[in-house]
Amino acid sequence: MGLILYWYPKCGTCRNAKKWLDHHELQYEAIHIAENPPSRTEIEQLYKTSGLELKKFFNTSGQKYRELGLKDKLKDATEAEMLDILATDGMLLKRPIVTDGAKVTVGFKEEQFEQVWN
Amino acid at site 7: W
Return the pLDDT at 76. 93
Q: Can you give the pTM of this predicted structure?
A: 0.94
Question: How is the chain split into domains, by residue range?
Answer: 3-117
The topology under which CATH files domain 3-117 is: Glutaredoxin (3.40.30)
User: pLDDT tens-digit profile of 26-43?
Assistant: 999 999 999 999 999 999
- Is residue 108 helix, strand or coil? coil
At residue 56, the 3 state secondary structure works out as helix
Question: Which residues of the chain fall short of a pLDDT of 70?
Answer: 1
pLDDT for 115 equals 97
Q: What is the pLDDT of residue 1?
A: 63
The continuous run of DSSP H or E covering 83 comes out as helix 79-86
